[in-house]
Amino acid sequence: MEHQQGGQEPGQYQLPGCYRHQDRETGIRCTRCERPICPECMIAASVGYQCPECVRGGSGTGHSAGASRPRTIAGGTMVGDTRLVTKVLLAINVTVFVAVLATGRDLVEQLAMLGLARADGPFDPFSPPEMLGVADGEWYRLITSAFLHQEFWHIGFNMMALWFLGPPLEAALGRARFLTLYLLSALGGNVLTYWLMAQNVMSLGASGAIFGLFGATAVLMRRMRYDMRPIAVLLGVNLVITFVPGLNIAWQAHLGGLIVGAIVAYAMVHAPRERRALVQWGACALLAVLLVTLTIARTINLLG
């Protein structure tokens, strides 16, 4: 009777062996070259582990002076401060919040997400009413509203989520890719809001971008073969809260951000190494074009 190596039953899944120690099974792979590595060969990186050869190649040991710098799993350049973009985004949100507290509702009405509504003011039968909103040409609202908050609990929850979710993603993707993920998620959430929410109702907050980070975290954890249960529970709880009646939560922004964030992250961490940058930035460009097209279509729909 034949037996599989290592006492495996026929048909049972067998983990690959370490590329340096073939007799040692492992479920961990180098975040750069993706070769299986055992605990003896694991060298801790900003995200996950790297093999000895990739670490030597990144530091220039044993190679020419032109050796490439260490790269993240998405191909971004590894840097010392993996919280820089997260800190900048958090600072922008807090600064705008302070400005809202100082100026009152005026700033909210100027920057919040709004499809199309008539401006407040006395009725004039001899001139058409002044209109506000994205459909009236104020396209900037699709982004500015993602940095806008009115209540302490709202900005507190969003910034706490940004602080915990942002740095691991920034370390894994690199600064430019992480910023792209954040902005496209914010845009995706507001585009879905533009389509599904009443056009004369305002919405605001970074929740669309934050849910994009949730989706990206789930994609990254699956790619790294980490335990999915913590992020699944956290995401499930937040989705349940999103649809609780009476909380006046813009579920459209949450759902749109989640979908876009997951798509962007999938393109970032699953792009083939040979054409990584082309696939990543091409996917982001196509997604941006799609969101702009949907915005134009909704504008045409509202203006009749």
Do 211 and 189 contact (CB within 8 A), yes or no? yes
Do 113 and 194 contact (CB within 8 A), yes or no? yes
Do 112 and 148 contact (CB within 8 A), yes or no? yes
Question: Bigger pLDDT: 56 or 118?
Answer: 118
Categorize the per-residue pLDDT at 262 as very low, low, confident or very high, splitting at 50, 70 and 90: very high
Q: DSSP alpha helices (H): ranges in the chain? A: 52-59, 84-103, 105-111, 141-144, 152-173, 175-196, 207-223, 229-242, 251-270, 276-303
Task: Return mean pLDDT, the chain.
Answer: 84
pLDDT digits (tens, 9 = 90+) for 68-116: 456 778 888 777 778 899 999 999 999 999 999 998 888 999 999 999 9
Output the 3-class SS for 121-154.
Answer: CCCCCCCCCCEECHHHCCCCHHHHHHHCCCCHHH
* 207 has catalytic annotation: yes
Distance, in Å, from the CA atom of 296 to the CA atom of 116, rounded to the nearest integer, reads: 13
Distance, in Å, from the CA atom of 200 to the CA atom of 277, rounded to the nearest integer, reads: 40
What's the Rg (C-alpha) of the chain?
Answer: 24
Q: Range with the lowest mean pLDDT among 152-161, 217-226, 252-261? A: 217-226
Where do the structural domains in the chain lie, given as residue ranges?
Answer: 15-70, 84-303
Domain 84-303 has CATH 1.20.1540.10: yes
pLDDT at position 8:
44
pTM for the complete prediction? 0.78
pLDDT at position 48:
67
Task: List Cβ neighbours of 289 (8 Å cut-off, separation of 6 or more).
Answer: none
DSSP H/E element including 117: strand 117-118
Catalytic residue among 68, 127, 207, 270: 207
Average pLDDT on 278-300 reads 97
pLDDT digits (tens, 9 = 90+) for 149-180: 999 999 999 999 999 999 999 988 999 999 99
